[in-house]
């Protein structure tokens, strides 16, 4: 499919971009605690610039310490941060890239643990952050306007090519504009004109300090997706005023913390905010370019959005976390080798937990400074990988990319391991993209793949390989309890892969993510489901960010939960617990975890054959662990 619309140049004020694909601001927690730039942060941005993105927009950079939202967030609040920012822009420019900085204040959604308290236009707490904000006085508002202006001057001194003003996602500027969060009755609140005063004073201040030719972008949540919140019609009227005040481009996103659509998941449509962007573009009459973000995951879809005229630029945020070479691969006709973002929000979960950036299926995300990549090995070696799950495929691809001769043996007839079963619950099909990528890369890298080929220690010892990597995965746990081998007891994997007919009444033992996702699938199939769990709550294996949408969905079904139940055995069509029996059930589904398959590794150790064990064969964990261990094992050859 053609991508001619995506790769057409476009101007943002005085700045001409080589094409229409930009990286939106995303906090990655890679800076120092004081907000200063690190080598890790620079390497992250350089990788995306080298990968062909038209414009990097850094993460939200706080303009005042009262607005800091994340532990290792970028800062631009004082002159001492300028030299580090200059190192960043110089590095991006050195590889032919363009870079903008986003100016930010968290308002009531800042982190009170970092700031000592939060501020807002009105004393209305965010239900997510929960801290009661201090209502800003008029003199305090004036000082914050100047904080944005001074930050803009620093941005120009640091060599940035453009500035974006963060007026979205429920942060301070958005809070002033929205009737949902601004209940003031003075010059900064009340009607639409007064609520717009704070953001327009910031824009006017930046224009006065930087001149008309410096490119200014404004990011807006076109709709807050809340009763009483901003609508696309409201935002369209405001954007007309932004253009009058000298804004050169509008970057459309949506939602605030409360409405929980900031980072869309697979339950959202692709291009979730594209229609909102079209509304903004119509409202301003095409006066300036309009960008749009959220679930734009492939070059083909990006081109379609632009060709339709609904937006002029696309923001591929998580797509560039997942594959920094997204645009280079698209331009060279290698779209099939793009690691497609899964919209799994692993990256968001890590961020909200205060951790540095990582990606479920890109092992280098946030670790670019740690590895010379791509790289070629000085000596070609013979490498054997046992196991065609995600860890094994990543190890094989990484080693082959470095020039080694690689053979991969998989005991079954299918590559992908447990991820295949993981794609079957509702809203999980997109997870399969990580398998699709690895399979395509195996072919592109010339890896010799043998399916339906179980191997043993003797066979491996006779191959004469320089390196053996064992990625034999894990098996579902069947507890050593009376009746666990009965005919009505199956594993979650049996259900997910369609191996069994469960009947109408089903018990699921275990309320971790596998158990709850299996229950969700069974409910979608019209089954009556009871989930039995020893703990007092569900989904303890997920971060709060990833847990919230799944828990909300399962609680909307008819699923019955039995918490605090210790299972002691299984009768015919019943689950026996210390506090009484539950049933009858047509089928009892076990979702109590996995145990590593260590048989081959133990046999190799006994035979004295050197090898490396990775992934679930060490301990069952996340896809991200499997990918990282596969990469490091392949890289180390």
Say whether both 587 and 541 belong to one domain: yes
Tell me which of 341, 370, 399 is where a domain ends: 370
Say whether both 519 and 585 belong to one domain: yes
**pLDDT 10s digits, 177-216:** 999 999 999 999 999 999 999 999 999 999 999 999 999 9
Neighbouring C-alpha atoms within 13 Å toward the C-beta of 183: 9
Cα-Cα-Cα-Cα dihedral of 323, 326, 328, 332, to 10°? Answer: 120
From residue 395, alpha-carbon distances to 361, 454, 475, 619, 625 in Å are 13, 18, 20, 17, 12
Domain of residue 519, CATH code: 3.50.50.60
One of 171, 218, 225, 437 is an active-site residue; which one? Answer: 171
**Total number of domains in the chain:** 3
For 434, the token pair is 């990580």
Tell me which of 346, 370, 394 is where a domain ends: 370
For 397, the token pair is 């691809």
Say whether both 67 and 198 belong to one domain: yes
Spatial separation of the C-alpha atoms in residues 269 and 280, rounded to whole Å = 19
Residue 250 lies in a domain: yes
Which has the closest alpha carbon to 475: 356, 597, 383, 591? 597
Q: Is the pLDDT of residue 1 over 70?
A: no
Spatial separation of the C-alpha atoms in residues 275 and 579, rounded to whole Å = 53
| pLDDT band per the 50, 70, 90 thresholds, residue 267 | confident
From residue 540, alpha-carbon distances to 70, 429, 512 in Å are 23, 23, 6
Domain of residue 444, CATH code: 3.40.50.720
Least confident piece of the model among 89-103, 265-279, 311-325, 575-589: 265-279
**For 217-223, what is the mean pLDDT?**
97
For 487, the token pair is 């005919």
**Which residues span the domain enclosing 116?**
10-370
pLDDT at 451: 98
Question: Across the strands, what pairs with 470?
Answer: 386, 613
For residues 348-383, b (16+ Cβ closer than 10 Å) or e, as one string?
bbbbbeeebbbbbbbbbbbbbbeeeeeeeeeeeeeb
Residue 2 lies in a domain: no
Neighbouring C-alpha atoms within 13 Å toward the C-beta of 135: 11
- Calculate what percentage of the chain has a pLDDT beyond 90: 95
Residue 24 lies in a domain: yes
Cα-Cα-Cα-Cα dihedral of 543, 545, 547, 552, to 10°? Answer: 160
pLDDT at 257: 86
Say whether both 328 and 408 belong to one domain: no
Residue 1 lies in a domain: no
**For 240-268, what is the mean pLDDT?**
89
Residue 365 lies in a domain: yes
Say whether both 201 and 269 belong to one domain: yes
From residue 465, alpha-carbon distances to 385, 407, 600 in Å are 10, 10, 16
DSSP strand pairing (505-509 vs 587-590)? parallel
Residue 441 neighbours by CB distance under 10 Å: 20
Q: Are 236 and 280 in contact (CB under 8 A)?
A: yes
Which has the closest alpha carbon to 244: 207, 272, 293, 274? 207
pLDDT at 268: 87
**pLDDT 10s digits, 29-60:** 999 999 999 999 999 999 999 999 999 999 99
Residue 376 lies in a domain: no
Say whether both 93 and 240 belong to one domain: yes
Say whether both 468 and 577 belong to one domain: no
Say whether both 355 and 252 belong to one domain: yes
Residues 6+ apart with CB under 8 A from 78: none
How many helices (DSSP H) and strands (DSSP E) are in the chain?
Answer: 22, 27
3-state secondary structure of 531: strand
Which has the closest alpha carbon to 234: 202, 184, 208, 199? 199
pLDDT at 454: 96
Say whether both 139 and 102 belong to one domain: yes
Residue 171 is among the residues annotated as catalytic for this protein: yes
Say whether both 69 and 193 belong to one domain: yes
Domain of residue 351, CATH code: 3.20.20.70
Residue 4 lies in a domain: no
Say whether both 337 and 405 belong to one domain: no
Helix-, strand-, coil-residue percentages of the chain, each rounded to 5: 35, 20, 45
Could you tell me how many residues make up the chain?
637
**For 594-607, what is the mean pLDDT?**
97
Residue 24 DSSP symbol:
P
pTM for the model: 0.94
**pLDDT 10s digits, 277-327:** 999 999 999 999 999 999 999 999 999 999 999 999 999 999 999 999 999
Q: What is the mean pLDDT of the chain?
A: 96
Question: Across the strands, what pairs with 156?
Answer: none
Say whether both 493 and 513 belong to one domain: yes
- The 574-577 sheet, strands edge to edge: 567-571, 574-577, 580-582
3-state secondary structure of 454: coil
Cα-Cα-Cα-Cα dihedral of 513, 261, 523, 542, to 10°? Answer: 10
- Calculate what percentage of the chain has a pLDDT beyond 70: 99
Residue 301 lies in a domain: yes
Which has the closest alpha carbon to 216: 246, 244, 196, 238? 246
Widest CA span in the chain: 83
């Amino acid at each position: 499919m053609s991508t001619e619309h995506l790769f057409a140049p476009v101007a943002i004020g005085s700045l001409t971009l080589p094409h229409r694909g930009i990286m939106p601001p995303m906090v990655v927690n890679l800076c120092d605690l004081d907000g200063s730039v690190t080598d890790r942060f620079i390497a992250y941005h350089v990788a995306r610039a080298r990968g062909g993105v038209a414009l990097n927009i850094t993460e939200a950079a706080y303009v005042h310490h009262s607005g800091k939202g994340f532990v290792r967030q970028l800062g631009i609040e004082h002159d001492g941060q300028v030299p580090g920012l200059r190192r960043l822009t110089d590095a991006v420019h050195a590889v032919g890239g363009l870079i903008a900085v986003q100016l930010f204040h968290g308002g009531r959604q800042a982190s009170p643990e970092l700031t000592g308290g939060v501020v807002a236009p009105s004393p209305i707490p965010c239900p997510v952050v929960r801290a009661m904000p201090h209502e800003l006085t008029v003199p305090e508002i004036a000082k914050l306007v100047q904080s944005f202006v001074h930050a803009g001057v620093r941005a120009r001194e640091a060599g940035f090519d453009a500035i974006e003003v963060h007026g979205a996602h429920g942060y301070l500027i958005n809070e002033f504009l929205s009737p949902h969060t601004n209940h003031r009755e003075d010059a900064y609140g009340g009607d639409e004109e007064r609520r717009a005063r704070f953001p327009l004073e910031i824009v006017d201040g930046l224009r006065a300090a930087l001149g008309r030719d410096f490119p200014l972008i404004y990011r807006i949540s076109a709709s807050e997706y809340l009763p009483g919140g901003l609508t696309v019609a409201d935002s369209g009227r405001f954007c007309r005023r932004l253009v009058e005040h000298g804004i050169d481009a509008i970057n459309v996103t949506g939602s605030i913390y409360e409405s929980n659509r900031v980072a869309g998941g697979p339950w959202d449509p692709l291009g979730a905010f594209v229609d909102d962007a079209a509304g903004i573009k119509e409202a301003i009459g095409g006066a300036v370019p309009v960008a749009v973000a959220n679930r734009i995951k492939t070059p083909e879809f990006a081109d379609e959005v632009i060709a339709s005229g609904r937006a002029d630029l696309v923001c591929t945020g998580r797509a560039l976390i997942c594959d920094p070479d997204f645009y280079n691969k698209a331009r060279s006709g290698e779209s099939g080798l793009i690691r497609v973002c899964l919209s799994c929000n692993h990256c968001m979960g890590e961020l909200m937990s205060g951790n540095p950036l990582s990606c479920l299926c890109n092992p280098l995300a946030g670790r670019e400074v740690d590895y010379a990549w791509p790289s070629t090995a000085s000596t070609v070696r013979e490498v054997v990988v046992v196991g065609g799950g995600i860890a094994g495929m990543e190890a094989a691809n990484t080693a082959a990319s470095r020039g080694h001769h690689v053979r991969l043996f998989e005991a079954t007839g299918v590559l992908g391991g447990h991820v295949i079963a993981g794609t079957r619950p509702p809203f999980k099909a997109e997870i399969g993209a990580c398998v699709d990528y690895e399979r395509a890369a195996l072919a592109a890298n010339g890896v010799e793949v043998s399916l339906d080929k179980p191997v043993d220690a003797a066979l491996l010892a006779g191959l004469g390989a320089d390196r053996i990597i064992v990625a034999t995965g894990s098996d579902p746990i069947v507890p050593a309890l009376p009746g666990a081998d009965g005919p009505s007891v199956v594993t979650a994997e049996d259900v997910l892969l369609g191996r069994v007919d469960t009947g109408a009444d089903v018990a699921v033992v275990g309320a971790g993510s596998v158990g709850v996702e299996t229950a969700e699938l069974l409910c979608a199939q019209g089954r009556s489901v009871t989930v039995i769990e020893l703990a007092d709550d569900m989904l303890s294996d997920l971060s709060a960010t990833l847990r919230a949408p799944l828990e909300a969905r399962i609680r909307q079904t008819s699923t019955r939960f039995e918490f605090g139940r210790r299972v002691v055995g299984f009768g015919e069509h019943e689950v026996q617990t210390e506090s009484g029996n539950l049933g009858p059930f047509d089928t009892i589904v076990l979702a109590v975890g996995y145990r590593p398959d260590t048989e081959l590794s133990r046999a190799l150790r006994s035979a004295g054959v050197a090898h490396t064990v990775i992934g679930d064969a060490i301990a069952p964990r996340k896809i991200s662990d499997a990918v990282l261990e596969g990469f490091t094992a392949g890289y180390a050859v």
